[in-house]
Structure 1
Amino acid sequence: MGLVGRHELRSLGTRLSRWQKIALGLFISFFVIYVTSPYDGSLRAFFRFQHSVARDYYQSQRPSDGWLYRKQHYPINPDNDIGVIIKTGYGTKHRMPQALRALSNESFFPDVLVVQDFPVIPEQKHYNLTNDRTVGKGLEIIDILGWNLERGALKGREHLERIYKYRNLRDAVEAEEWVLSEGLGRTIGWELDAMKFLPALEYAWNTMPKKKWYIMIDDDTYVIKSTLSLLLGHLNYGQPHYIGNPVGDYKGRFPHGGSSVIMSGATLRNLFEWHPEIAAESNLESPFAIWGDKLLSTTLMKIAVYLDETYRRFFNGEHPWMTRMWIDRLCLPLMGFHGLGDKESMEQVGEVFKDQPGPVLWSSLAKIYGVSDYQTFIDVPIRPNINYVGRLDEGSTTIENVAKVEDCLDICDRHSTKCLAWAYDPNNKRCDIAPWAILGDLADGRFSGVNGKLGKRLVDRCHAPH
């Protein structure tokens, strides 16, 4: 049998042309190099990124939501099966009462851990989750940087500038020097935030080790329970999962922390129980990190857990009125909102979304906030003093020297599958079109509209929950 096999290989070799042999040799060489390269190396990162780009393009061209409403193989109770980690800092601590009130509304009452960069102060002892079902539910608050230092996870790094800054803030808080504390909190908060991610997750794993899922959010982020339940019920929490709103290039792809980051219990187990040395190395890197969410991502790459971008269209990094409702996600559920730093915004969002029946879709935002539906834009396509495009980026298109507003409307109509909203500035003769629409932003002197025909056609294809 061995002789026959070698004979067949020699025969194949004689049949191949010179260029075919070269191509085969190059393929084999590349394959060997790829499989022997490190998990977090540039080569593997590059091809993972290209694969994500290709898959994202396919999903944008053929959006699908039907799978969400099929039978869930891993159903969860979000109040019991999800551990929520809220990151806050001294400069933003005023957000916490509203964030907890919104989180503990009638729709969501999970186990919560609050991690911060300063010692617990008296007013925080009154923090709890309270809703109509119970008087209150306690939660733990921890100075996560102090905990990390005390346990020796930053041994050898105590002399670094960022550690000194933390200690100055800690000492000011303990001395009740509130003016100095406020100044330090605003100035160094972003630096200390980068050091919270890994110890926060490890502390959560130690204190809430039986959760199927862990979600990390900022103190100005609101998450929607129905979306969490619907998505996570289709994912096996016994397997490593790491999902979020991706940013960055292939060298350091990571989920935007403000949009929320979701990890399965298996992911935390793999890191903190099976590879504690990797976690220890990353803790030592944290005083130099610019972004903690990127450090988390590069840490998980070392244990072959990569950001899964399949579910990127669920995540949102904006507050409701600036949320961009893209063409390719109108039928999908919305994970939540970010940028709710002021008291009124968080309270309003908490009240609006606590009693929503069923999943909150991107396309349902307009109805929830009382904005005109797509049919009204078919009847009256041009609206004055408003902008339905919002923030421009590489996904939008700007056309200069457009004579009048009707011409801008015609341009959007000609891009009937790629233009969901348009805006016209008569002073600059500029027309902006985009594959998304926002609820509407006041813009004196401008004109704008939504492609009602496209929007109506898209939402008519949405599946409904059984």
Structure 2
Amino acid sequence: MRFSPKRILKIIFSLSLSVLFVLLIRNLISKSKIGNQGGIFIKEGVNIPDDLKNFVINESPSHEYDDLALCIKSGADVFYDRIPGLLKSYPRYIRNKIIVGEKPGYRIGNYTMHDVCTPTYGEIKETYWSKGKKEGAEKKDNSEKVDAKKDDKKDSDDINQGRKQNFDKLGWQLDVYKNIPAFKLLYDTYPNAKWYMMVDDDTYVFLSNLKKRLSFYNPNEKLYLGASWPIPTGCFPSWSMARFAHGGAGIILSRAAMLAFIGNYDVCVKSFDDCYAGDVRLALCLNTVGIRLNRSERHVNVNWRGHSDQAPNLEYSWLEPCDLPLTFHHLYSKQQMLLYNIQRYHNRDSFTLLKDDEDGNFHTLISYSDLFNSLDLDLKVTPPEKATYRLGSDYKRISYSRILNEEETLEENVVDCQQKCLNDIPKCKSWQYSNFMCHLKSGIPGAIEGTPNSYTGITGVPIQCEKELMLN
């Protein structure tokens, strides 16, 4: 049977309409499914800000830190605000590094933020925090909840203020899903490293100090190192006095610990669903292979220190001038760059300005004393601060006569305690009066909330290291 040209065109037109109709229906169904998923992740392209399209980092040619593999933990809502400034500081000296987060498509220069959440856990529709379970859970970080954009704008120019944690940030809410798969990706990317470290994108690491401290330990021994925090309520550790390494302040695994972790990865990634913190989940995972925080395989406590979960200001506990700082957390990019430049310029004989890619004294050790005296802190004699404590660093204690009504002698005792500290400058850096006792201190512990009749203050004297550096 033969068809006329007119009939053929009519058939083709009808078929085309049918195909278009089918495609339209499929598209509508697809959109409907996506809209009804309620998932947190939106797989869409990310537009790089115009001022970052030509972003370039002058990586250091140094091989000083090739034994270390670094994972920088970020998030989609802060990536372009934090990562560009951070990469200009200490990470430029680390060849083995990756950036991880919870969404794909974020890139700057040669660096991509790897989505470690979706490939591991699939499309996450809600988090512990979005379910409203936040009440009653004592999260390890008790910083105030703030609007991050307002907070950044308000305090970013004040180097004496630290960044406050924003619990509304999606990247933070999904942090629970990042740590375990991120360490796996770090190992898969750099399987020959001796040490593996994870830090937040608002953390600064003193690499020269870290390298020196790690030189006293064997990477072939199973070591899990970091700032020790008690495992919070709700994560159900199986051992008493359970501790974990605070993620923001930095988590370090030796090669042997990493291999043990990798061996049990498939179990760990499917476990600990009731625990709402990624760094705590990692501690629980490591415990399944017999590894606990700051302990050696010989069950000896390791004197590991130097990590801080706060900015270096007068609220920080400057207890040991001769010790080596390793990390500071909750920093703005401007503060990270300040610490980077302090490290490059300290103990230099020349006043010549360094170029951005010049090392200066970056690879030398820097003490808390060096750092404290390089910061523009408001050092002055402070009036007695009511209802505060400064715990630790006592070198002398003086008792006052106890009476039934402390109010009768309170003012006299407080003034006398402060004067005793001022009379013992430069040894006395701060003081505390509480419960008929005067505490004279050789350091400046951070001020914390105390009882109504407790008072503290500082003398405004810089802290000095007058002995050998505390290396190990």
Please, what TM-score do these two structures have when normalized by structure 1? Answer: 0.58
* 2:95 corresponding residue in structure 1: 110
Cα drift, residue 228 of structure 1? 1.2
Whichever residue aligns with residue 334 of structure 1, its letter is: P
* 2:267 corresponding residue in structure 1: 281
* 1:422 corresponding residue in structure 2: 431
Cα drift, residue 372 of structure 1? 9.7
Contact 2:129–2:173, Cα closer than 8 Å, also in 1 = no
Whichever residue aligns with residue 255 of structure 1, its letter is: A
User: Is 1:186 matched with 2:168?
Assistant: yes
In structure 2, which of residues 224, 229, 241 is the aligned counterpart of residue 242 of structure 1? Answer: 224
Contact 2:206–2:327, Cα closer than 8 Å, also in 1 = yes
Q: Measure the CA separation in 1 of the matches of 2:412 and 2:418.
A: 11
CA change 1:462–1:185 in 2 (3 A) is closer
CA change 1:447–1:285 in 2 (3 A) is closer
Q: Measure the CA separation in 1 of the matches of 2:218 and 2:388.
A: 37
Whichever residue aligns with residue 327 of structure 2, its letter is: G
- Flag structure 2 segments of 5+ consecutive residues without an equivalent: 1-61, 132-148, 150-165, 232-239, 295-300, 347-360, 401-405, 448-454
Contact 2:219–2:255, Cα closer than 8 Å, also in 1 = yes
Q: How does 1:36-185 map to 2 (within 5 A)?
A: 78-93=64-79, 94-104=81-91, 108-120=93-105, 124-127=106-109, 138-149=110-121, 161-162=126-127
Count matched residues: 326
Contact 2:367–2:469, Cα closer than 8 Å, also in 1 = no
Q: Measure the CA separation in 2 of the matches of 1:159 and 1:126.
A: 25
Contact 1:402–1:431, Cα closer than 8 Å, also in 2 = no
CA change 1:238–1:434 in 2 (3 A) is same
CA change 1:160–1:430 in 2 (3 A) is farther
Cα drift, residue 315 of structure 1? 1.7
Q: Measure the CA separation in 2 of the matches of 1:163 and 1:414.
A: 54
Contact 1:162–1:287, Cα closer than 8 Å, also in 2 = no
Q: Measure the CA separation in 2 of the matches of 1:352 and 1:402.
A: 41
Q: Measure the CA separation in 2 of the matches of 1:435 and 1:92.
A: 39
Q: How does 1:255-404 map to 2 (within 5 A)?
A: 255-272=245-262, 275-276=263-264, 279-285=265-271, 287-308=273-294, 310-322=302-314, 324-327=316-319, 329-340=320-331, 342-356=332-346, 357=361, 358-369=364-375, 383-384=381-382, 392=389, 395=392, 401-403=410-412
Cα drift, residue 193 of structure 1? 0.3
CA change 1:396–1:363 in 2 (3 A) is closer
Q: Measure the CA separation in 2 of the matches of 1:83 and 1:391.
A: 41
Root-mean-square deviation (CA, aligned residues, Å) is 4.4
Q: Measure the CA separation in 2 of the matches of 1:437 and 1:145.
A: 41
Q: Measure the CA separation in 2 of the matches of 1:406 and 1:434.
A: 16
CA change 1:392–1:258 in 2 (3 A) is farther
Q: Which has the higher contact order (CA 8 A, sep 6+)?
A: 1
SS class of match (2:72): strand
Contact 2:390–2:456, Cα closer than 8 Å, also in 1 = no
Contact 1:252–1:294, Cα closer than 8 Å, also in 2 = no
Q: Measure the CA separation in 2 of the matches of 1:254 and 1:390.
A: 31
CA change 1:159–1:415 in 2 (3 A) is same
Cα drift, residue 413 of structure 1? 7.9
Whichever residue aligns with residue 334 of structure 2, its letter is: E
Cα drift, residue 366 of structure 1? 2.7
In structure 1, which of residues 180, 197, 200 is the aligned counterpart of residue 179 of structure 2? Answer: 197
Q: Measure the CA separation in 2 of the matches of 1:415 and 1:312.
A: 32
Contact 2:70–2:196, Cα closer than 8 Å, also in 1 = yes
Over alpha carbons, which structure has the higher Rg?
Answer: 2
Cα drift, residue 199 of structure 1? 0.3
Cα drift, residue 343 of structure 1? 3.5
Contact 1:78–1:228, Cα closer than 8 Å, also in 2 = no
Deviations 1:243-291 (A, max 9, x none): 111011644301111111111111111121xx33xx2232223543222
Contact 1:383–1:447, Cα closer than 8 Å, also in 2 = no
Deviations 1:25-54 (A, max 9, x none): xxxxxxxxxxxxxxxxxxxxxxxxxxxxxx
Whichever residue aligns with residue 258 of structure 1, its letter is: G
Q: Measure the CA separation in 2 of the matches of 1:192 and 1:439.
A: 31
Whichever residue aligns with residue 219 of structure 2, its letter is: Y
Whichever residue aligns with residue 407 of structure 1, its letter is: D
Q: Measure the CA separation in 1 of the matches of 2:68 and 2:334.
A: 27
SS class of match (1:403): helix
Contact 1:322–1:390, Cα closer than 8 Å, also in 2 = no
CA change 1:286–1:87 in 2 (3 A) is farther
SS class of match (1:230): helix
CA change 1:447–1:435 in 2 (3 A) is closer
CA change 1:282–1:241 in 2 (3 A) is same
SS class of match (1:303): coil
Q: Measure the CA separation in 2 of the matches of 1:325 and 1:298.
A: 29
Cα drift, residue 213 of structure 1? 0.7
Whichever residue aligns with residue 422 of structure 1, its letter is: W
Cα drift, residue 349 of structure 1? 2.4
Cα drift, residue 195 of structure 1? 1.1
* Identity rate, percent: 22
CA change 1:214–1:200 in 2 (3 A) is same
Please, what TM-score do these two structures have when normalized by structure 2? Answer: 0.58
CA change 1:422–1:225 in 2 (3 A) is same
Q: Measure the CA separation in 2 of the matches of 1:403 and 1:164.
A: 50
User: Is 1:461 matched with 2:447?
Assistant: no
Q: Measure the CA separation in 1 of the matches of 2:288 and 2:192.
A: 24
Q: Measure the CA separation in 2 of the matches of 1:350 and 1:439.
A: 23
Cα drift, residue 386 of structure 1? 9.5
